[in-house]
């Protein structure tokens, strides 16, 4: 995070493996013994007693998971600027460079910052348009247990005329909930001035009268994986700084950085430039971003929606790269040791939502960390499945952390929900659907199989209709009218399992494996509790028609509507009765909720084909109530899922794919009557570009990646085709 002050610059530093605690196993040893009684209490309608028992016996120990934590701050103090003119700061989404610029005392200063995925360093470049004008003091602070010291000339002892010094922070992460901190971490800031003077004391570096200066920043922890913390952050950060340093050094300090910057921009653009979106441009673009957010609801700034979409892609590119951790509740931008909700992976919506714009936004690489995490969960979750349920396969409840904890946490109103891992599997399947790559399928199939196996072993017959249901479970975080959230067979679980079983069966068919298991899944699938319409015409959230009596009728979660989006159980054309019931449920819930919950509503309305309604909700999401001046989503407080869900909502207005179809402009709002988009990806393995005028499709260009067949749809017109890999087809929607 770049704060951009004039007299002081604060760079808030994060490293995505710096979390509290260490490897741990939170499974409750009393859970398995209590499970039959808990199930009975739920089936008997004794919900409060069930919750009580679950709270005592089944919840994880400790009850909470480990928090994501900050590294600390790099502070740069500049001489007092007497007058400041032309202050400007921006983040260029196309280069991923943040710039601060101003004039003071007749000197124009610029400060550029970028975080290079190539060299694994953050680079700060301080420049002035007159020589000898760069003076500052650099120091590191942190709320962690850590020491800061200066090392002089460790990187380039041979560079006679150019001195350099490095700030080094060495620390240990914190304990949490009785789990001892087990991670060493280190941050290094190498300060490289061009001319001028560099001095250092114990923990500060002073640069005076340089022509310019470059800072190279690296950070690492000893985390290797969820059960191995034997890494050497000193070696990692030294290597990263040295690598960047030797690349940086090009003979004359003033010209250095250029290769590092060029490589950074190339790597960023490789992902970012795949999609171009134009929704129209107006004079509102000339205003600063905070003012545009204030005025977006007035309806005259379509480019801000395009910017919000691309900002979402930028955030994912910047927080979810192969080899790193998935984007957490704050992406990776966190200034605290105990951020809201621990900055964890909440997998009853939030983590999944982070990845909603990824595949259609042509960012398959960014999904890699999520897939790696789900693989880890299939290992830790196998332990929980065995010890807490005596089941095969694996299970994850509503949250996880760096250590891949999978037991139910927080309390029975939140934690006793076994479908978190099953939901995540939708993203594995999507990876296959969007790529059409059988190698992907081979890699993910065992994980999907394990997730499905767990439910074959734990679904129980409900007494009234003999449906197979989850028990104990809940409809994420929503209380039913009987003093608890715990219940059996909430609608969302059934929808997730219908998807999981169908996708696992398809995967096994394609791979030609597990015929008997496929049959078992198919049989179990037909016995799951069905969708039901309640007395207000709504889609029932629970097996019983409780919706209208629930204490929080406008609850933020709309879990039971998963079947319409992101699931594919319900569609307007395929299951019109249930689509109408979803609409009724949405009307009952209302349009406005927390950031992510507002974004989910947008996505749902796009899948009802109601673009103007979705756009009205987007106006709320993109207002100061739900978007901070820097465009971060406001839950409130800051939570990044709303950014990603909002970006997905914009893409879903323009194109939707699934069930063998790609639909163009399924929910185009009137406000975006003309526009174009290039480079979206669709299920089945297609790249899609569209342009439209006066609310009507002009052309849809489709490029096949895999050679699959597909049906194109625009309004009521359809066109079935099969292209060769690489072949392009242009359609005018008639």
Q: How far apart are CA 671 and CA 618, in angstroms?
A: 12
Site size toward ligand FUC, by CB under 6 A = 10
In terms of CB distance, is 595 or 684 closer to ligand FUC?
Answer: 595
630-636: long-range contacts, CB 8 A cutoff, minimum separation 24 = 630/289, 631/289, 631/293, 631/307, 631/308, 631/311, 632/333, 633/595, 633/596, 633/599, 634/595, 635/340, 635/594, 635/595, 635/596, 636/594, 636/595
Member of 330, 350, 453, 479 binding ligand FUC (CB under 6 A): 350
Minimum separation from the CB atom of position 350 to ligand FUC (A)? 5
Member of 594, 598, 627, 704 binding ligand FUC (CB under 6 A): 594
Minimum separation from the CB atom of position 21 to ligand FUC (A)? 19
**Residues contacting 142, CB < 8 A, separation 6+:** 70, 71, 72, 73, 148, 169, 171
Q: How far apart are CA 116 and CA 94, in angstroms?
A: 14
In terms of CB distance, is 352 or 477 closer to ligand FUC?
Answer: 477
Q: Minimal CA–CA distance to 432: which of 417, 448, 415?
A: 448
State which H helix or E strand residue 217 sits in. strand 212-221
Minimum separation from the CB atom of position 351 to ligand FUC (A)? 10
In terms of CB distance, is 637 or 695 closer to ligand FUC?
Answer: 637
In terms of CB distance, is 54 or 126 closer to ligand FUC?
Answer: 54
Minimum separation from the CB atom of position 473 to ligand FUC (A)? 16
Member of 477, 493, 591, 633 binding ligand FUC (CB under 6 A): 477
In terms of CB distance, is 356 or 686 closer to ligand FUC?
Answer: 356
325 belongs to the binding site for ligand FUC (CB under 6 A): no
329 belongs to the binding site for ligand FUC (CB under 6 A): yes
Q: Binding string, 638-657, against ligand FUC, x = CB under 6 A?
A: -x------------------
Q: Minimal CA–CA distance to 173: which of 319, 73, 68?
A: 68
Which tokens hold the place of 187?
């941050």
Minimum separation from the CB atom of position 342 to ligand FUC (A)? 9
- Tell me, rounded to whole angstroms, the distance of Cα 17 from its chain centroid: 16
In terms of CB distance, is 280 or 340 closer to ligand FUC?
Answer: 340
Burial, 730: exposed, middle or buried (Cβ in 10 Å; 0-12, 13-18, 19+)? exposed
Member of 346, 351, 388, 540 binding ligand FUC (CB under 6 A): 346
Minimum separation from the CB atom of position 414 to ligand FUC (A)? 6
Contact 431/359 with Cβ under 8 angstroms?
yes
Q: Binding string, 484-523, against ligand FUC, x = CB under 6 A?
A: ----------------------------------------
**Which residues 613-642 are close enough to bind ligand FUC by CB under 6 A?**
635, 639
Q: How far apart are CA 588 and CA 547, in angstroms?
A: 9
Which residue is nearest to ligand FUC, using beta carbons?
341
341 belongs to the binding site for ligand FUC (CB under 6 A): yes
Minimum separation from the CB atom of position 42 to ligand FUC (A)? 22
Which tokens hold the place of 3?
């704060």
In terms of CB distance, is 341 or 542 closer to ligand FUC?
Answer: 341
Q: How far apart are CA 628 and CA 292, in angstroms?
A: 11
Minimum separation from the CB atom of position 637 to ligand FUC (A)? 10
In terms of CB distance, is 211 or 346 closer to ligand FUC?
Answer: 346
In terms of CB distance, is 346 or 571 closer to ligand FUC?
Answer: 346
Q: How far apart are CA 483 and CA 376, in angstroms?
A: 35
556 belongs to the binding site for ligand FUC (CB under 6 A): yes
Q: How far apart are CA 4 and CA 11, in angstroms?
A: 9
Which tokens hold the place of 335?
């200034």
Q: Minimal CA–CA distance to 395: which of 490, 308, 496?
A: 496
Which residues of the chain form contacts with ligand FUC (CB under 6 A)? 329, 341, 346, 350, 477, 556, 594, 596, 635, 639
């Amino acid at each position: 995070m770049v704060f951009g002050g004039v007299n002081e610059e604060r760079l808030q530093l994060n490293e995505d493996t710096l979390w509290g605690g260490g490897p741990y196993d939170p499974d409750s040893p009393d859970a398995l013994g209590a499970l039959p009684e808990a199930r009975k209490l739920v089936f008997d309608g004794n919900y409060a007693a069930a919750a009580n028992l679950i709270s005592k016996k089944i919840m994880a120990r400790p009850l909470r998971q480990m928090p994501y934590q900050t590294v600390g701050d790099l502070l740069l103090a500049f001489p007092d600027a007497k007058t400041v003119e032309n202050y400007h700061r921006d983040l260029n989404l196309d280069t991923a460079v943040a710039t601060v610029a101003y004039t003071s005392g007749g000197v124009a200063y610029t400060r550029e910052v970028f975080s290079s995925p190539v060299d694994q360093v953050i680079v700060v470049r301080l420049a002035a348009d007159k020589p000898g004008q760069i003076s500052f003091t650099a120091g590191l602070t942190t709320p962690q247990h850590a020491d800061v010291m200066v090392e002089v000339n460790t990187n380039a002892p041979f560079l006679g005329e150019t001195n350099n010094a490095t700030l080094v922070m060495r620390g240990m992460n914190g304990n949490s909930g009785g789990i001892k901190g087990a991670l060493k971490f280190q941050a290094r800031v190498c300060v490289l001035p061009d001319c001028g003077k560099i001095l250092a004391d114990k923990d500060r570096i002073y640069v005076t009268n340089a022509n310019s200066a470059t800072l190279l920043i690296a950070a690492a922890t000893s985390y290797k994986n969820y059960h191995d913390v034997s890494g050497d952050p000193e070696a990692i950060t030294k290597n990263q700084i040295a690598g960047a340093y030797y690349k940086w050094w090009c003979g004359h300090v003033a010209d250095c950085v250029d290769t590092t910057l060029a490589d950074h921009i190339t790597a960023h653009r490789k992902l970012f430039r795949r999609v171009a979106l134009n929704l129209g441009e107006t004079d509102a673009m000339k205003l600063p971003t905070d003012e545009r957010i204030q005025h977006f609801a007035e309806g005259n700034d379509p480019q801000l929606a395009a910017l919000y979409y691309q900002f979402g892609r930028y955030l994912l590119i910047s927080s979810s790269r192969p080899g790193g951790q998935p984007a957490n509740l704050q992406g990776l931008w966190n200034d605290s040791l105990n951020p809201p909700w621990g900055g964890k992976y909440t997998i009853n919506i939030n983590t999944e939502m982070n990845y909603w714009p990824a595949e259609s936004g042509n960012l398959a690489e960014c999904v890699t960390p999520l897939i790696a995490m789900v693989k880890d969960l299939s290992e830790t979750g196998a332990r929980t499945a065995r010890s807490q349920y005596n089941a095969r396969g694996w299970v994850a409840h509503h949250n996880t952390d760096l250590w891949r904890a999978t037991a139910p946490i927080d309390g029975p109103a939140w934690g006793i929900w076994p479908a978190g891992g099953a939901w995540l599997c939708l993203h594995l399947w999507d990876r296959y659907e969007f790529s059409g790559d059988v190698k992907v399928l081979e890699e993910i199939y065992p994980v999907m199989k394990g997730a499905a196996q767990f439910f074959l072993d734990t679904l129980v017959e409900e007494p009234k209709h003999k449906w197979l249901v989850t028990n104990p479970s809940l409809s994420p975080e929503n209380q039913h009218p009987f003093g608890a959230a715990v219940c059996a067979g909430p609608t969302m679980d059934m929808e997730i399992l219908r998807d999981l079983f169908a996708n696992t069966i398809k995967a096994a068919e394609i791979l030609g494996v597990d015929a008997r298991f496929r049959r078992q899944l198919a049989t179990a699938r037909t016995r799951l509790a069905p969708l039901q319409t309640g007395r207000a015409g709504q889609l029932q959230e629970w097996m019983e028609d409780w919706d209208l009596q629930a204490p929080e009728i406008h609850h933020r979660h709309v879990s039971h509507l998963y079947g319409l989006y992101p699931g594919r159980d319900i569609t307007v054309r395929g299951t019109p009765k249930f689509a109408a019931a979803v609409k009724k449920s949405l009307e009952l819930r209302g349009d406005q909720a927390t950031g992510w919950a507002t974004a989910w509503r947008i996505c749902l309305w796009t899948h009802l084909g109601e673009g103007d309604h979705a756009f009205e909700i987007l106006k709320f999401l993109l207002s100061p109530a739900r978007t901070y001046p820097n465009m971060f989503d406001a839950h409130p407080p800051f939570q990044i899922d709303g950014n990603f869900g909002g970006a997905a909502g914009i893409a879903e207005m323009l194109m939707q794919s699934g069930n063998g179809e790609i639909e163009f402009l399924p929910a185009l709002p009137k406000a975006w009557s003309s526009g174009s988009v290039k480079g979206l990806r669709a299920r089945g393995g297609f790249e899609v570009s569209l342009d439209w005028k006066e609310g009507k499709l002009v052309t849809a260009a489709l490029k096949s990646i895999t050679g699959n067949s597909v049906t194109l749809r625009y309004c009521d017109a359809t066109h079935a085709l099969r292209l060769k890999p690489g072949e392009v087809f242009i359609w005018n929607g008639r």
